[in-house]
Amino acid sequence: MKYFLDTNVFLRVAARENQKSFEECKRVLERVKRSELEAVTAGLVLAEVAWTLGSHYKWEKNRVALVLKSIVNLGGLRFVNGYGAAGAVERFSEKTVKFVDAMIGSIREVADGEWIVVSYDRDFDKLGVKRVEPGAI
C-alpha cells in the first residue's frame, strides 16, 4: 500500500507541540526513510508547511527553509503533483473542506483509494478518501 503524507505529518514533527503526535509522525517519517513505507507527498503540501510555519508559528524564513529542505531530502519520499483542478473545485464547492484538502483529494490515486492519506485532518473523511492517522500505521 502507498501512503500520501499530509501537511500535518510534517508540521507535528517541526513544531513539536504535542509529544504523542510528534512521536507518531516522527516514526512514520523514519519508516519512510528506511523504505518500510512507500510514501508520496506534493508540492502543495510544501507550500502549506511553509505558509503555516511562517504565518501561524511566526518562524523566520531560514528556519522554514530548513524544514522544507529536510522534507525534500527525505530518502524514500516521492513528490507527485497530479491534481485534478476541476475535480478539486467541485469537491471544494460541495463539501465543507479546505481547498488544499480538496486538491489532495482530487489526485487520481487518492480519489480512487489506491493511496491512503496519512493525516489527523478528519476533513478527508468528508471527501470519501481513505485516511489513517499516523499512530495507526
| Share above pLDDT 90 across residues of the chain, in percent, rounded to a whole number | 95
What CATH number does residue 27 fall under? Answer: 3.40.50.1010
> For 104-125, what is each residue's pLDDT tens digit?
999 999 999 999 999 999 999 9
**Domain range enclosing 64:** 2-82+112-132
Convert the pLDDT of each residue in 38-58 to its tens digit: 999 999 999 999 999 999 999
Q: Is residue 93 part of a domain?
A: no
What is the side-by-side strand order in the sheet with 77-80? 77-80, 38-42, 2-5, 115-118, 131-132
If one counts the domains in the chain, the total is 1
At 129, which amino acid appears? V
pLDDT at 81 over 90: no
**Per-residue b/e over 44-65, b at no fewer than 16 CB within 10 Å?**
bbbebbbebbeeeeebeeeebe
Residue 89 within a domain: no
Report if residue 102 sits inside a domain: no
- For residue 99, is pLDDT > 90? yes
31 within domain boundaries: yes
For residues 68 and 128, give the distance between their C-alpha atoms in angstroms, rounded to a whole number. 29
CB atoms inside a 10 Å sphere around CB 94:
11
**pTM (2 decimals)?**
0.95
